[in-house]
Each structure stands twice: as structure tokens, then as C-alpha cells.
């Protein structure tokens, strides 16, 4: 119980791992494309948490700068991903990821 009261770096890493697992489950099991994209955002946030926790542990700020770049990339990827979703929805009228199978043999 004492180890649970003193918050160390390991606590943040375990939290990041749990969030990563939730994101992976979301990506692998959901059919709605928008929710899959949101689970990808969960994965990226877990990675950011790890980066900032390690930056705090080591005392330098390189982890925080990396986290800022990851947030920027997540914004770009969300924009392009949602653009693709809109283009796809205009053709097929469904947001079901199982129906994205035009290239299937």
C-alpha cells in the first residue's frame, strides 16, 4: 500500500500501457470507422504520456518537445483520415469498416 501512495515514474508508464491497450482493443474490434480513428488517437495519447513521463524522469525536456511533435502529427493525421472517410462515405453511404473491401480478391 505504501508503494501505491508514492507516485513514481512506473505509475505513469502503467497508465500509458493501459491506455495503449484500450486503444488497440478499439482499433481491432470496432466496425465504425470514426471510432477506430478515435482509438488511434487514444494510442497516440498513451505514447505521449510515456514520453512526458520519461522526460520528467531524466530531467531534460526532449521528451516534451517530442510530445509536441506527436500532437502536431496526430492533428494532421486526423484531418487527412477524416477527409478520406468523407470521400469514402460519399461513395458508399456507410461507415462500416468491413465494407471497405473493393480491393479484395
Partner 1 sequence: MTPVATPFFFYLFAGMMLIGGILVITRKNPVHSALALIVTLLAQASIYLMLYAPFVAGVQIILYAGGIMVLFLFVIMLVSIERSMKERQFNSQRVVGIIAATALGGLFIAVYSKGKDIFPDHAVRMTAAEAPNVQSVATLLFGPYMFAFEIASLLLLVAIIGAVVMAKKRI
Task: Please tell me whether residue 92 binds partner 1 under the rule CB under 8 A.
Answer: no
Q: Considering only residues 67 through 86, tell me which ones interact with partner 1, judged by CB under 8 A.
A: 67-69, 71-80, 82-86
> What whole-number distance in Å separates Cα of residue 103 and Cα of residue 105?
6
Q: Closest separation between CB of residue 78 and partner 1, Å?
A: 5
With respect to partner 1, which residue has the nearer C-beta, 48 or 105? Answer: 48
66: Cβ–Cβ under 8 A, 6 or more apart, which residues?
A: 51, 55
> What whole-number distance in Å separates Cα of residue 56 and Cα of residue 98?
42
Task: Please tell me whether residue 100 binds partner 1 under the rule CB under 8 A.
Answer: no
# residues near partner 1 by CB under 8 A: 74
Q: Closest separation between CB of residue 102 and partner 1, Å?
A: 16
Measured CA to CA in angstroms, residue 77 lies from 5, 12, 53, 59 at distances of: 38, 26, 24, 30
Amino acid at each position: 500500500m505504501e508503494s501505491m501512495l508514492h507516485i513514481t515514474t512506473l505509475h505513469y508508464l502503467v497508465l500509458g500501457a493501459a491506455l495503449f491497450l484500450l486503444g488497440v482493443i478499439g482499433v481491432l474490434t470496432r466496425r465504425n470507422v470514426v471510432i477506430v480513428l478515435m482509438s488511434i488517437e487514444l494510442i497516440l495519447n498513451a505514447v505521449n504520456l510515456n514520453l512526458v513521463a520519461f522526460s520528467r524522469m531524466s530531467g531534460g525536456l526532449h521528451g516534451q518537445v517530442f510530445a509536441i511533435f506527436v500532437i502536431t502529427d496526430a492533428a494532421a493525421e486526423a484531418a487527412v483520415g477524416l477527409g478520406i472517410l468523407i470521400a469514402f462515405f460519399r461513395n458508399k453511404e456507410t461507415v462500416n469498416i468491413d465494407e471497405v473491401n473493393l480491393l479484395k480478391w
